[in-house]
Structure 1
Amino acid sequence: MFVRRVEPSDRALMERLWLLFRHDLSEFQGQLPAADGTYRSEWLEKVLTGDPEWAGYLIWTGENPVGFCFMRALQQPVHVLNAFFLVRPVRRQGIGLAAVQEVLSHHPGPCEVAFQANNAIAVSFWRRVGAAMSGDAWKEELRPIPGKPDAPSDSWISFEV
């Protein structure tokens, strides 16, 4: 497994992986694709256009791209691991934790990650990440989603890298 920064030339690859990611999340967020079959992609655009507050990383096993990780709020006191995705065949093999640790090594300091509490696999994974990154010094809390008063709150884990 190796991780590298997303480059503008990765657009087509990232757009394909993005659709897989958003499709996976739709199970927990109830979001449907747009009429053209795509999902909202403003985060992807921030990564691909070089927004200084964002960084994207591609995750590979051998010659195969197997996922990505986005960081945001890079110029803020607390960084946010904003999006994380692995294709199904490589899940639950330790690749996810290793990839997150590699990405976070490039962004030391306080970090947070949000996920849906109704996604049991994500809950377990992000708790493992919190413990791996900072032992017992991580915390978890529910926070409402801004602008979506009827949506269930997101779970947030905070830790120090």
Structure 2
Amino acid sequence: MTEITAPDVFARPAGPEDRPVVERLWLMFRHDLSEFRGILPHPDGTFRGDRVEAAFSAPDWAAYLLVRGERPVGLAFVRGLGGPTRVLNSFFVVRGARRSGIGLRGVREILARHPGRWEIAFQYENPGAVAFWRRVATEAAGDAWTEEPRPVPDRPELPPDVWISFEVAG
């Protein structure tokens, strides 16, 4: 993987003015995930939007845009900011920017903004996510991270999500 070091690539908090961009990126993210969980869009072509709503309105959530120059290349939602464990609830990089280091750089910036205990879920069926999140955990915590499958709440028909847990020093 070629590491992106350009100063025009970063993760920044998304404000209300960014919501339309985040909503469009969200559709791409949910479309990508549909491959692994068989999720279909609603009749209007959208996917569930409760996480977008929470990212912009819930007090312990934060929305981030990953940008390269003026172009949006991804999103991230963090929840649990008021509690003992932060959860990277959603993380997405557009296909044209993957394997360039943009995602790794973005997640590093987000983790650094919120030191403490972290949990991140992904699916074993998504081999790119498995490799990426294990790399993130190793970079953030050395060998002091755990990985465990957990049932998807209210979805017993789905395979379990995989959760990585680690600590980020402040």
**TM-score for the superposition, normalised by structure 2:** 0.92
**Pick from 5, 11, 16: which aligns with 1:3?**
11
The letter of the residue matching 1:74 is L
The letter of the residue matching 1:83 is S
**Pick from 37, 42, 45: which aligns with 2:50?**
42
1:16 matched to 2:10? The reply is no
Give the secondary-structure state (helix, strand or coil) at the position aligned to 1:124. Answer: helix
**Pick from 135, 146, 150: which aligns with 1:139?**
146
Gaps of 5+ in 2: 1-8
- Determine the C-alpha separation between the residues in 1 that align with 2:75 and 2:136: 16
TM superposition outliers: structure 1 runs of 4+ over 2 Å: none
1:60 matched to 2:67? The reply is yes
Give the secondary-structure state (helix, strand or coil) at the position aligned to 2:99. Answer: coil
Give the secondary-structure state (helix, strand or coil) at the position aligned to 1:36. Answer: coil
1:150 matched to 2:157? The reply is yes
User: Which residue of 1 is the match for residue 41 of structure 2?
Assistant: 33
- Determine the C-alpha separation between the residues in 1 that align with 2:129 and 2:40: 20
- Determine the C-alpha separation between the residues in 2 that align with 1:81 and 1:94: 18
- Determine the C-alpha separation between the residues in 2 that align with 1:2 and 1:55: 16
Give the secondary-structure state (helix, strand or coil) at the position aligned to 1:136. Answer: coil
Instruction: Give the number of aligned pairs.
Output: 160
Give the secondary-structure state (helix, strand or coil) at the position aligned to 2:138. Answer: helix
The letter of the residue matching 2:112 is S
- Determine the C-alpha separation between the residues in 1 that align with 2:21 and 2:96: 18
Percent same amino acid among aligned pairs?
56
- Determine the C-alpha separation between the residues in 1 that align with 2:21 and 2:93: 14
The letter of the residue matching 2:162 is S
User: Which residue of 1 is the match for residue 111 of structure 2?
Assistant: 104
Q: Is the 8 A contact 1:115 1:154 kept in 2?
A: yes
**TM-score for the superposition, normalised by structure 1:** 0.97
**1:95 shift after superposition:** 1.1
User: Which residue of 2 is the match for residue 81 of structure 1?
Assistant: 88
